[in-house]
Amino acid sequence: MLNTLGGVNTKKKIIIVSTLLLVISLSVFILGNKSKKTTCQYDSSQKDYQISTKYNIYSKKNIVVKVVSKSIIKSSDEKKLKQMKKEYEKQYKTLYKKYSGYKYNLKITKNKLYIKLTILYNKIDMKKFIYDNGAMKSYLDENKNYPLTKAIDYYTSIGVSCK
């Protein structure tokens, strides 16, 4: 390759080749660490409210690293929405305190409760999580990672459709 650079001196050839190798190495690293996004959806209508949730499951090398869910709960019953918000906040606060790795935001606007929940699987205390949620153990691999296929199996088992 150095010979194809013609009249360029050896020092410049080495710099050019080194730079080229660095760019190739960085490209391979970045492409290899890119996360994949799988989208799932859940919709349900109850007597006094409707819920629609979109789940974005992010994985690297087929291991789930985070799940971001965005829910909209619609109801004409403002009291019902306030109660649900209070219950969800309590639940998410407890999950964060017990396991870490949970971020959440809830707000009510015009007869709708908006919920955004992010679960960071690399931040969760998995040992404690598995102890408290024994059924989840079957969805994890031997290294306590959450394979994407198992995540999709779990979401499908609770009525969520995934693409």
Strand segments, DSSP code E, in the chain are 36-45, 50-60, 63-74, 102-109, 112-120, 161-162
pLDDT at position 22 is: 44
Structural domain count, the chain: 2
pLDDT at position 25 is: 43
Same domain, 96 and 119: yes
Same domain, 11 and 65: no
Condensed to tens digits (0 to 9), the pLDDT of residues 66-75 reads: 999 999 999 9
Same domain, 45 and 24: no
Same domain, 81 and 9: no
Enclosing domain of residue 20: 2-32
Flag residues of the chain having pLDDT under 70.
1-33
> Could you give the CA distance from residue 99 to residue 121 in angstroms, rounded to a whole number?
10
pLDDT at position 76 is: 94
**CATH value at residue 67:** 3.30.1830.10
CA atoms in the 13 A half-sphere facing the CB of 12: 7
